[in-house]
């Protein structure tokens, strides 16, 4: 009888709600909703009728924006495809001098923001620059009319700049794909009578296709996001158009409408990326790993291979970084006089803040999904990670509109109740910039933390829980220690991306507030590269951090890949 009584008491005491409402779920849904707000705001504003600027845009610039953006995407897409895939194949499958160095050096241009090399190459290649001056000296020309030289500040120039710094995405992903491929399929192809080149086109390339598509999608997202280069080269893309309509024509609705068209481009990219990722799962072949073939290259093939790998590194990193370093030395005093330390502090502070928050929120969301694998939660999390695909200029419009609405709401409320005007509390503050960074880079931290959590078997959770630890204690004692590496990587990636970020920062920053990136943008566009060189060099220096981590990760990723270095 006592037994039944305790049973009843226990029944009552332990009755818990079985609906999906609990702390983690509510929190995750809330965070996701906040992250989606700016995007929703863009869509909403673009639907609100305004003084008919849309018709005006259609009549005047829309066609130009669309065609320029398309040309830019095609150019950068093809350029990064050719450079990325060919270099990846060379360093994964062939043996030639310097291969070991190229393996990581090919990633270096990732550290270069596109706008920085745009300023540098303009400086080098324009009429007054050293290259044309040298040509004039040699051939005795005196005026511009006497010879033809390609104009760097053009669509072609923008394509070259973006290709040079973005090809590492394709390189990274296709290299990972080549290294993942079982050498057995390649050997099977060889035994069935196909040579190395035909095997590449009929086996290796099709197997790597999903990864290559993911790489190209990421490249094109970055292309759409670029503001610094197209602004400086005056190439009329959508991103530039949004900025122009909004700040110069002072028309938010028009900017939002342009942003919406840009989002259509983006959603094609996001969908193709998702589709490729899903397809990738079916592309795994056998699990037998052996040393990759390592075709030994000789003679002309060797020279060509070295050139193919060296040129992207030379033009994408070595040359611009060298020029930047020498400018920094020459103009050191001038550069220090421009409040360099203040700007560096601003950059470090903002980037650390955003990285810390992004990682904390990323852990929260990833663990929330792990705890309750529910459809609603998954959808919300996907929405929250959309930001990485949204160009900074579009997000900036959304953030401004969102924060403006909140500010006005608070102001109205305070005025009505206390007769005090609070003005703009959030707009044009560091909080606004941080919010923008978070929305844009949350996917980066969430993605790497989710992937790392996914590698922990669910038995770990079960074991910890059955040993008396609750959900939070399990996270703290089991998961966090196990994913330390991923947390570090994630915070560093977000940190560096925030350091480089330009369009969001330019639009959202407080008045007279500079980060290294906005400072470089302002001075370099005024052709005062000397003053900006130290700041630019600092951005590149931080940018090298993730390159190091990525190259370490990729060389560890494939068991049994320790050969071919004696070439």
Partner 1 sequence: MKGLHIQGLSHSYGDNKVLDNAGLIVPAGELVCMLGPSGCGKSTLLRLAAGLEKVQHGKIIIDDVTVGSADVHLPPEKRHIGLMFQDYALFPHLNVIDNVTFGLLDMAPDKARLLAMDMLTQVGMAAQSDKFPHMLSGGQQQRVALARALAPEPKLLLLDEPFSGLDTNLRETIREETLSVLKNSGVATLMVTHDPEEAMFMADRIKIIGANGHILQAGRPHEIYYHPTHEFVARLFGMMNRFEGVAADGQVETPLGAVATDLADGTPAEVLIRPEGVILGTSDNNQGTTVEVTSSHLMGHDNIVRVRLGNGEGEDLHVRVHHTFEAELKESFSCRLDHEYAFVFPLDAESEYTNTELMDAPTSEEISAAGE
Q: Which residues of this protein are in contact with partner 1, per CB under 8 A? A: 3-4, 6-7, 10-11, 14-16, 18, 457, 459-470, 477-478, 481-482
Cβ distance to partner 1 smaller for residue 190 or 465: 465
CB of 366 to partner 1, least distance (A): 18
Least Cβ distance, residue 13 to partner 1 (angstroms): 9
**Residue whose tokens read 């609906």:** 19
Angle at which helices 62-93 and 299-313 cross, to 10°: 130
136/469 with CB nearer partner 1: 469
Nearer to partner 1 by C-beta: 479 or 514? Answer: 479
Instruction: Return the number of the residue (300 or 556) whose C-beta is nearest partner 1.
Output: 556
Q: How far is the CB of 509 from partner 1 (least distance, A)?
A: 41
Smallest separation (angstroms) from partner 1 to the CB of 25? 14
Instruction: Name the residue nearer to partner 1 (CB basis): 11 or 59.
Output: 11
Q: Which helix (H) or strand (E) holds 95?
A: strand 94-95
* Tokens encoding 446: 């969430």
- 443 and 270 Cβ atoms separated by less than 8 Å: no
Tell the smallest beta-carbon distance from residue 479 to partner 1 (Å): 10
Kindly state the smallest distance separating residue 281's Cβ from partner 1, in Å: 20
Rounded distance, CA 483 to CA 220, Å? 31
d(CA 219, CA 215): 6
Q: What is the DSSP string of 460-520?
A: HHHHHHHTT--HHHHIIIIIHHHTHHHHHHHHHHHHHHHHH--HHHHHHSPTT---HHHHH
Place of tokens 């390609």: 150
CB of 341 to partner 1, least distance (A): 40
Report, in Å, the least distance between residue 465 CB and partner 1. 4
**Closer Cβ to partner 1, 361 or 478, answer by number:** 478
Beta bridge partners, 95, equal 296
- Smaller CB distance to partner 1: residue 423 or 462? 462
Q: Tell the smallest beta-carbon distance from residue 382 to partner 1 (Å).
A: 20
Q: How far is the CB of 17 from partner 1 (least distance, A)?
A: 9
What DSSP string describes 282-340?
GG-----------EEP-HHHHHHHHHHHHHHHIIIIIHHHHHHHHHHHHTHHHHHTTTH
Query: Which C-beta is closer to partner 1: that of 10 or that of 30?
Result: 10
Residue 297 neighbours by CB under 8 Å, 6+ apart = 94, 95, 96, 305
How many residues comprise the chain?
Answer: 567
Dihedrals φ, ψ of 95, to 5°? -120, 125
Closest CA to 121 of 163, 89, 93, 81: 163
Task: Quote the least distance from Cβ 156 to partner 1, whole Å.
Answer: 53
Please list the residues that pair with 296 across neighbouring strands. 95
- Least Cβ distance, residue 8 to partner 1 (angstroms): 9
Cβ contacts of residue 537 below 8 Å, gap of 6+?
321, 324, 325, 328
Comparing CB distances to partner 1, the nearer of 195 and 468 is 468
Residues in CB range of 353: below 8 A, 6 or more apart: 430, 434
Question: Residue 566 in contact with residue 296, Cβ under 8 Å?
Answer: no
H/E segment holding residue 456: none
Quick check: 502 and 300 in contact, CB under 8 A? no
Number of other residues whose CB lies within 10 A of the CB of residue 346: 22
Residue among 8 and 274 whose Cβ is closer to partner 1: 8
Residue closer to partner 1, measured from CB, 153 or 465? 465
| Residue number with CB closer to partner 1 (248 or 457) | 457
Residue with tokens 């499958």, as numbered in its chain = 93
* 537 CB neighbour count, 10 Å cutoff: 19
Angle at 291 (CA atoms; ends 289, 292), nearest 5 degrees? 100
**CA separation for the pair 232, 515 (Å, rounded):** 18
Least distance CB 477 / partner 1 (angstroms)? 8
Of residues 184 and 482, the one with the C-beta less far from partner 1: 482
Helix 62-93 with 53-60: angle, nearest 10 deg: 60
Q: Report yes or no: 62 and 423 within 8 Å, Cβ to Cβ.
A: no
């Amino acid at each position: 009888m006592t037994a039944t009584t305790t049973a009843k008491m226990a029944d009552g005491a332990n009755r818990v709600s079985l609906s999906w409402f609990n702390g983690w779920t509510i929190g995750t849904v809330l965070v996701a909703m906040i992250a989606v707000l700016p995007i929703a705001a863009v869509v909403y504003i673009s639907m609100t009728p305004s003084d008919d600027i849309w018709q005006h845009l259609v009549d005047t610039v829309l066609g130009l924006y669309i065609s320029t953006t398309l040309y830019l995407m095609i150019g950068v897409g093809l350029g990064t495809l050719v450079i990325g895939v060919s270099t990846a194949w060379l360093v994964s499958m062939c043996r030639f001098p310097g291969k070991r160095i190229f393996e990581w050096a090919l990633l270096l241009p990732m550290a270069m923001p596109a706008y920085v090399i745009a300023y540098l190459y303009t400086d080098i290649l324009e009429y007054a620059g050293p290259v044309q001056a040298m040509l004039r000296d040699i051939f005795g020309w005196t005026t511009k009319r006497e010879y033809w030289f390609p104009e760097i500040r053009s669509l072609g120039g923008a394509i070259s700049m973006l290709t040079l710094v973005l090809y590492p995405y394709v390189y990274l992903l296709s290299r990972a794909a080549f290294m993942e491929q079982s050498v057995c399929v390649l050997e099977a192809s060889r035994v069935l009578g196909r040579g190395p080149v035909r095997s590449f086109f009929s086996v290796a390339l099709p197997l790597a296709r999903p990864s290559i598509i993911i790489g190209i999608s990421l490249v094109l997202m970055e292309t759409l996001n670029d503001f610094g280069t197209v602004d400086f080269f005056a190439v009329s893309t959508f991103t530039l158009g949004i900025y122009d309509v909004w700040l110069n024509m002072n028309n938010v609705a028009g900017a939002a409408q342009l942003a919406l068209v840009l989002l259509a481009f983006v959603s094609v990219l996001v969908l193709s990326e998702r589709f490729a990722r899903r397809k990738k799962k079916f592309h795994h072949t056998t699990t037998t790993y052996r040393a990759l073939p390592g075709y030994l290259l000789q003679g002309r093939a060797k020279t060509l291979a070295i050139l193919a790998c060296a040129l992207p590194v030379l033009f994408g990193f070595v040359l611009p970084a060298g020029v930047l370093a020498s400018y920094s030395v020459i103009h050191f005093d001038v550069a220090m006089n421009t409040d360099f330390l203040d700007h560096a502090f601003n950059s470090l502070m903002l980037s650390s803040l955003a990285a810390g928050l992004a990682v904390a929120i990323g852990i929260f969301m990833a663990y929330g999904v792990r705890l309750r694998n529910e459809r609603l939660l998954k959808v919300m999390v996907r929405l929250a990670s959309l930001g990485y695909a949204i160009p900074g200029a579009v997000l900036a419009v959304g953030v401004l509109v969102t924060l403006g609405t909140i500010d006005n709401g608070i102001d109205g409320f305070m005025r009505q109740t206390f007769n005090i005007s609070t003005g703009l509390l959030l707009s044009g503050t560091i909080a606004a910039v941080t919010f923008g960074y978070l929305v844009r880079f949350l996917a980066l931290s969430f993605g790497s933390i989710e992937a790392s959590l996914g590698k922990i078997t669910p038995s770990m959770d079960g074991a910890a829980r059955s040993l008396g630890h609750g959900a939070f204690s399990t996270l703290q004692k089991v998961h966090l220690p196990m994913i330390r590496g991923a947390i570090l990587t994630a915070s560093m990636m977000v940190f560096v991306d925030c350091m480089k970020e330009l369009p969001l920062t330019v639009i959202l920053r407080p008045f007279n507030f500079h980060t290294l990136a906005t400072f470089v943008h302002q001075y370099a566009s005024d052709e005062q590269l000397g003053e900006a060189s130290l700041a630019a060099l600092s951005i590149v220096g931080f940018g090298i951090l993730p390159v190091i981590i990525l190259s370490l990760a990729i060389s560890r990723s494939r068991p049994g890949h320790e050969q071919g270095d004696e070439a």
